[in-house]
Amino acid sequence: MLIGEKKIARPLRWGMIGGGRTANVGPKHRRGALYDNNSFKLVAGTFDINPERSLEIGLSLGLDKERIYPDYKTMIAEEAKREGGVFYVTFL
């Protein structure tokens, strides 16, 4: 795969830890992934230390409510149980 040049057969399922509204780097990572020819799809995350804010942010990003987690330990445990769980995680 040549990043940005060749579209892969299916997007890599991506989980994000951190990167909420007050984070400088989270939005940059999400924008960068969008520029990469749809090679990545954000499917799960915990975006803020406050679970309510994390839920609000995840919903605003279009994630399913059941894949927005209150903390990273829960996210890792639950996604590991899924058939189509995350393929990789960014920790910001």
pLDDT digits (tens, 9 = 90+) for 33-75: 767 667 888 999 999 999 999 999 999 999 999 999 999 999 9
DSSP-assigned beta bridge partners for residue 12: 40
Give CA angle at 24 (23, 29), nearest 5°: 100
- B/e letters for 22-55, b = 16+ CB within 10 Å, e = fewer, are ebeebeebbeebeebeebbebbbbbbbeeeeebb
Question: What are the structure tokens assigned to 18, written together?
Answer: 């951190």
Return mean pLDDT, the chain: 86
**CATH architecture of the domain formed by 12-91:** 3-Layer(aba) Sandwich (3.40)
Which pLDDT band, with edges at 50, 70 and 90, does 1 fall under? very low
The reported pLDDT for the residue numbered 11 is 84
Contact call for residues 69 and 46 (beta carbons, < 8 A): yes
Please tell me the pTM assigned to this model: 0.81
